[in-house]
Every structure is written in C-alpha cells, then in structure tokens.
C-alpha cells in the first residue's frame, strides 16, 4: 500500500467515502498487523472491508519494469489482480504512478480499439461549477494523432457521464488557435477529430494553455509530456500566488495589523470564503483515472490525506457505477474504432 | 506600428521609459500624421524622437511568410532594418510575433554559433526579488538537444547580466527529475549540459512545471511548444484564481459586507497591498527578448499599456547597455561553440 501516510489515510479515506457511497465494499492489501487495528477505529468499516495480508510493496523509487518483474506479491499487484479477476470493480492506489500504469496495463490489458491507456484528471476553471478534464498527464511522453483521437473519446465519455456535461467541448492543446500552428502531430490529430463522426462531444479545435482555466473547453487533449508540464505549472502557479499573498501579509507590522482588521469582514463572509477554499482545495480534484484499460484504476496523489483519498475512491465508485468502460466501448463502436483491436495490443497479448 | 493601442501607448511608453533611461533616443516608424501630434503632448520627447513616415504595416493576421515577402515598407520591417544598419541598438515591437521573428531572422541574421533564435521572458517566482527566465516560448516548435544547449547559454547570460544573478541555476523542463524521465531530446540535452564546461551558470538537471513558480532555478530551458503551453497555463491559472476570488466576494450580500468590512484593514496595509499588486503586475514582466540574433529585438505584449511598453523599452535598453550579444559571443567562445557558424545559418546566408 503506497502513499506518504498509508495505511492510515487509506482506511480513514474508505470510512469517509462510505458516507457518499454506503454500498461500497473494500478489499485492502497490505500488512494486516498494521491495518486491522486501524479498521477497528471506524464503526461499521470492519463489516465491509476485507484485509488481505502481504508485506511486499512497490516503493516510489522502483522503476516500472522492476515493479512489473519483481513485485508479484506486492500490495499494488495483488490489488490490480483483484480487478483483473473480477473480485473488485476498481483499484485505487496512492503509490508509484509509473509502476501502477505498467502493472495495470500488463494485468488488465488495453481496451479493444485503444492503442495506449492514458492518465486523466479534472481541473477547476473560472466558470462556476465547471471542471475541465485533461489527458494525458504523463503516461505517454510521445503520442501519434490516433492516440490523441482515442484520448478524446475516452475523456469525452468521462466528461459526459461523470461530470454530466451533455455535449463536451473537446480541444487540442496547442500554441495558437489557427490551423497552421503547432507541430505535425497536433495538426494531423486536428484533422482526425474534424473528420470523426459521432464523437462523444464536439471538437472545437486548438486551444492554448490559458483556455484551461478559462473554461473554454470541457476536454483538453494533449500528449503526456505537455499535459504533465501544464498540470505541474498550474500547481506551481497556484502555490506561488498563495505564497506571495501570505508573504505580503507577513511583510510588515502595518500589513499584520491590516490583516487583523480584516478579520471581522472575513468572519461575516465566512460561508463564501469557505466555499472558495473548498473549490480550490486540491483534495477535491484528487483521483486521476487511468483510462483505456479493461479494468478501472484510479491514482491518488501520494501526499494527500484521508479527505483526498476518499475523493479518489469517489471517482472510482462513479466510474464503476456508470459502467465507464462499457460506455467507452459503445462510443468506440459508433466512431468505427471499436471492432479492430490495435495491432500493438494484439502483439503484446500474443507475447504473454 | 503594431499593438492594440498603438501608436498612443508606444509614444507614452517612450516618454515613461525616459525617466529611468534619460539618455535613450527613439526612431518611430508609422503614420506621421498620427504620431507627430501625439509626440507634442510629452515635453522633451520631440527632441529625442525621430518619426519616419510609412503607412504600410504588418497585421496580426499576416502569416510570417507573407509579412517577409510583401511587408518591405512596413513599420516593422523598417524598424528592424534600422537595427540591421546600426542606426538603432534595439527594436521594440508590440506587433505580430511570428512576423517579427521571421523578419528579424532574415534581416539581422543569427549569431555565429547559434542554430536557432528563441524567445525568452522573465517570470515571477515565490522567492522575494527573484525572477526566472524561460525560453523558448514559441519560436521553435521542435528542438534538438543542441538547440536547447544554445538556449541555456543565451539566457544564462541574460540571467547573469540583466537580472544580476552571479551563477544562474539552469534547469531543463521535464516531467520528472530522474534521468530516465522524458523523451530522447531532453535526455540528450541533459547529457550535453552536464558535459559542457564553462556554462554561464550551473546546470542543475531536470525540473518540473511547479519548479518555475517555486524559484528552484534561474533559467528554464525548454522547446517552444512546451514553453508556450507552460507560459499560457501560468497566465490562465493566475486569471482563474483572481476571477474565483472576485466571484466569491460578489457571490452574496454577506460576502459584499465582508469585503466592505475589510476595507479599513486593506487601507492600513495599503503599501504592502500595492507592493504585492506591483509584483504580480503582468506589465512588470512585459518585453520578451528574441535572443540569438545579431541585433537586439524585444517583443511587447500586444495588449499592454504605456507602462508595460515602457518596461519592454527598459529590457531593450538594459540589453543594449550591457552589450548582450558581445557577452553571448564571449560565452560561446568559452564553451567552444563560437568559432563554427551553424551550417543552417550559412546555407541561409548563401541563399540571399
């Protein structure tokens, strides 16, 4: 079991998730001597949580290839196996992302019609009540145009079914909105999107980095390199701004006095201040989906707490409840990409 | 003369820039019937500003190739020509970026030892008084490892000479800090940086998107696609956060009352609030440098005002005063890249 504060946040997270998903049941993999005493602290959890003992684990330093080869009894591998054999609907892990993707791809296999699985997450925008979904966030450093089209289908379904956006607007991340801008991959991908009938959404063309926060689109399609840099830049900018505001309020006694004088105002406005805090809480966006696999797999941030982990469990539950992969398969059929399994995947399966 | 509010902001910007750079002289290219009456409004400006009349201009819709072919009497081309023949030390334009780069590359030529010019700008970080410089921001959609090494030298000099950082820390933007992360270009570039003796700075390895705002490095090296997406993501995130804060203060009468009650506190803290506002003012970061050319060329944001344009003039003046290109040539010599002109450039010159 991975993550900075596992297993505590995992157990408490499961307890918190049950409030919204009372029907949820859990299988937890890890050291039972550590886990079982924790479970007892949460009333009712014992009855819905099975603990399977293993001392093996994948560390955050393990390379994906090492994890795949030598981690056969690790908690991560056993949890993914449980999804593979149908014992669980979805795996949620706060462990090593590269290892999780490698093992999930190996055990669960890629969905027919999808060449490469990807990592997707939803992000806040300035539009009230609106989130955009972006992928890939790092699983595929380089992508071809068809990969990007597949990504659009995968999170078009996510946006429509999980975020309840009737006709998701899909954009490809680029360095300008004109069709001549960018490299060959995005240009060719844009042609594929424009030519595709029956997309789970509406292709609106190229978007730029500032369109993500502006809420111009519901789905942001990009390769894993660009997506990861963009996501991390977003996190870094938010942290920088918060730090600058904090620094100025601590910069002088006049500023500290000013902050003190603001207190009554902030108290009066407390509900709205709390609503803003909640809206920007990174825990509300925790739980990235590994999409394009035959089983459901959610990656929680390694440094999150129980509230964040509960949110990741919520994403897993939502995807299981709407039968995400069945919906994706239907969309792939509609768009004419479902019937043919991708050659890469067939070769991989043949090699097993 | 380009930009949303030209020529007014250009003339007023020159007037403002003279306060910090009283020795500056200007040659302005555009419609003299529009410009000359404006100049009269600013005392003392007439004596240091020469107006050269032209009605031709490059629009923001013109493709770089069109601008290069048919814009020979445009204000942009004439201004760049003035740098080319040594009449001006630097050109500052708020016009079409692609056209500016194409014309500047054609007229001014690339510095010996540099394969491709790039666009660089400095950005705020959470460290007090610290800016990071990032390049490329869009001139080179795809880059090879040697391009990235050249970028490092170019803005290493910028960071040291303009931002006065004694030994700039140089990082390559990637999706993880481990040496196995990323695509082949960044891996090979990292090896080039590690092997280079006498860099104008210290290569510290791979950085991630959140390191930019964290102030982990002084120089962020990346290709023009990733750099542009990261820069725009930064702008979009800052705008989103500002908008969310504004929205919550307008969301209910309680919140409005709260904001009102904060006023005395904000007034007491006014100096620090204003300092924060100034620190985050995008106008203080206006003026991107086209580096790697034989002449100096600064791109102002098209939507800026006179204060922002004055800042771009300031960047131009600073680069001219420290003789930026001479410093770059010295550094290229030190690193063993100066003597050999890049084949691409020689071929281009031979074709003229």
Architecture of the domain spanning A1-117+283-352: 3-Layer(aba) Sandwich (3.40)
**Cα–Cα distance measured from residue B319 to residue B296, given in angstroms and rounded to the nearest whole number:** 8
Give the integer Cα–Cα distance in Å for A285 and A301: 10
Name the band, by pLDDT with cuts 50, 70 and 90, for residue B347: very low
Which residue bears the tokens 């700008």? Answer: B121
- B198 is written with which tokens? 């006498």
Chain B contact present for A65, CB below 8 A: no
DSSP conformation class of A131: E
Chain B residues touching A245 at Cβ < 8 A: 276
**Which residues of chain A have a CB within 8 Å of the CB of B213?**
233, 236-237, 239-240
Measure the CA–CA gap between B151 and A163, rounded to whole angstroms.
42
User: How many Å apart are CA A308 and CA A295, to the nearest integer?
Assistant: 22
Q: How many CA atoms lie within 13 A of A287 on its CB side?
A: 26
How many residues does the structure list for chain A? 352
3-state secondary structure of B222: coil
- List helix spans (H) across A136-281: 145-161, 184-195, 209-214, 224-249, 253-268, 270-280
**Cβ within 8 Å, pair A209-B225:** no
Predicted local confidence at residue B26, as pLDDT: 97
Could you report the predicted ipTM of this complex, rounded to two decimals? 0.88
What lies within 8 Å, CB to CB, of A222 at 6+ separation is: A134, A135, A136, A148, A172, A173, A230, B229
Smallest Cβ–Cβ distance between B209 and the set A224, A229, A251 belongs to A229
Q: Cβ contacts of residue B351 below 8 Å, gap of 6+?
A: none
Pair of tokens at residue A326:
């069945």
- Characterize B15-44 residue by residue with b for buried, 16 or more Cβ atoms within 10 angstroms of its Cβ, and e for exposed: bbbbeebeebebebbbbeeebeebbeeeee
pLDDT of amino acid A116: 95
User: pLDDT tens across B241-251, in order?
Assistant: 888 888 877 77
Q: Chain B contacts of A249, Cβ < 8 Å?
A: 269, 272
Say yes or no to pLDDT of B338 above 80. no
Any idea where the domains of chain B sit in the sequence?
1-117+284-352, 122-249
Instruction: Give me the pLDDT at residue B340, please.
Output: 53
* Residue B261 or B295, more confident: B295
Residues of chain A with pLDDT under 70: 1, 339-352
In this complex, do B209 and A235 lie within 8 Å of one another by their Cβ atoms? Answer: yes
Cis peptide before B136 (omega within 30 of 0): yes
Q: What is the pLDDT of residues B275-320, one digit of tens each?
A: 777 777 888 889 999 999 999 999 999 889 999 999 999 999 999 9
Residue A133 pairs in a beta bridge with A122, A219
Nearest to B254 among A124, A235, A269 (CB): A269
Distance, CA of A219 to CA of A134 (rounded, Å): 6
In total, the C-beta contacts within 8 angstroms joining chain A to chain B are 221
**Radius of gyration (C-alpha) of chain A in whole angstroms:** 21
Alpha carbon of residue A194 to chain centroid: 26
Q: List, in sequence order, the alpha helices (H) in B71-136.
A: 75-84, 97-108
A284 DSSP β-pair partners: none
The CATH code belonging to domain A132-249 is 3.40.718.10
Residue A351: the pLDDT is: 41
**Gyration radius from chain B CA atoms:** 21
Q: In angstroms, rounded to a whole number, what is the distance separating the alpha carbons of residues B264 and B278?
A: 20
The whole-number average pLDDT for the span B187-194 is 96
Task: Tell me what the mean pLDDT of segment B138-152 comes to.
Answer: 95
Distances (CA, A) of A210 to A143, A157, A159, A185, B164: 22, 24, 20, 21, 30
- Mean pLDDT across chain B: 90
Q: B226 to chain A: which residues are within 8 Å by CB? A: 225-226, 229
Question: Helix axis angle, A8-20 relative to A32-39, nearest 10°?
Answer: 40
The answer, yes or no, to whether residue B206 has pLDDT greater than 70, is yes
Tell me how far apart the terminal alpha carbons of chain B are, to the nearest angstrom: 27
- Contacts of residue B279, defined as CB under 8 A and 6 or more positions apart, other chains included, come to A244, B124
The residue ranges of DSSP E strands in chain A, in sequence order, are 26-30, 49-53, 90-93, 118-124, 131-135, 169-173, 202-207, 219-221, 288-291, 296-299
Tens of pLDDT along B264-277?
A: 877 777 777 777 77
Nearest by CB to B239, from A180, A213, A262: name it: A213
Do residues A222 and A172 make contact, with C-beta atoms less than 8 angstroms apart?
yes
Which pLDDT tens digit goes with each residue over A318-347?
Answer: 999 999 999 999 999 998 887 554 444 444
Parallel/antiparallel/unpaired status of strands A118-124 and A131-135 = antiparallel
In chain A, which residue's Cα lies nearest the Cα of B269?
A255
Class of the domain covering B122-249: alpha beta
Across the interface, which of A182, A209, A259 has its CB nearest the CB of B233?
Answer: A209
3-class SS of residue B167:
coil
Greatest Cα pair distance, chain A, in angstroms, is 71
Peptide bond into A173 cis (omega under 30): no
Q: pLDDT tens digits, residue range B220-238? A: 999 999 999 999 999 999 9
Both tokens of residue B203?
A: 């290569």
pTM recorded for the entire structure: 0.90
């Amino acid at each position: 079991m991975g993550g900075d504060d596992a297993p505590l946040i995992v157990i408490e997270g499961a307890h918190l998730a049950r409030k919204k998903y009372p029907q949820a049941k859990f299988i937890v993999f890890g050291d039972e001597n550590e886990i079982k005493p924790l479970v007892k602290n949460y009333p009712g959890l014992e009855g819905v949580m099975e603990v399977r003992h293993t001392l093996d684990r994948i560390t955050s330093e393990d390379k994906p290839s090492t994890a795949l080869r030598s981690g056969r009894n690790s908690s991560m591998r056993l949890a993914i196996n449980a999804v593979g054999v149908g014992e669980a609907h979805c795996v949620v892990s706060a462990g090593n992302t590269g290892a999780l993707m490698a093992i999930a791809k190996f055990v669960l296999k890629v969905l027919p019609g999808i060449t490469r699985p990807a990592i997707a997450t939803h992000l806040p925008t300035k539009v009230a009540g609106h989130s955009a979904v972006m992928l890939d966030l790092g699983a595929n450093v380089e992508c071809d145009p068809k990969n990007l089209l597949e990504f659009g289908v995968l999170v078009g379904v996510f946006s429509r079914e999980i975020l309840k956006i009737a006709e998701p607007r899909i954009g490809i991340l680029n360095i300008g909105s004109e069709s001549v801008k960018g490299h060959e991959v995005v240009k060719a991908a844009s042609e594929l999107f424009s030519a595709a009938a029956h997309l789970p959404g509406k292709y609106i063309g190229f978007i730029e980095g500032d369109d993500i926060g502006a809420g111009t689109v519901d789905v942001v399609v990009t390769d894993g390199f660009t997506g990861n840099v963009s996501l991390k830049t977003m996190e870094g900018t938010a942290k920088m701004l918060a730090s600058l505001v904090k620094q100025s309020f601590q910069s002088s006694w006049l500023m500290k006095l000013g902050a003190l004088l603001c207190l009554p105002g902030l108290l009066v406005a407390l509900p709205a201040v709390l609503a803003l805090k909640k809206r920007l809480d990174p825990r509300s966006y925790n739980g990235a989906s590994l999409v394009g696999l035959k089983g459901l797999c959610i990656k929680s941030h390694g440094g999150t707490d129980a509230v964040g982990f509960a949110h990741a469990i919520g994403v897993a539950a939502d995807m299981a409840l709407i039968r995400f992969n069945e919906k994706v398969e239907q969309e792939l059929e509609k768009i004419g990409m479902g019937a043919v399994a991708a050659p890469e995947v067939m070769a991989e399966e043949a090699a097993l």
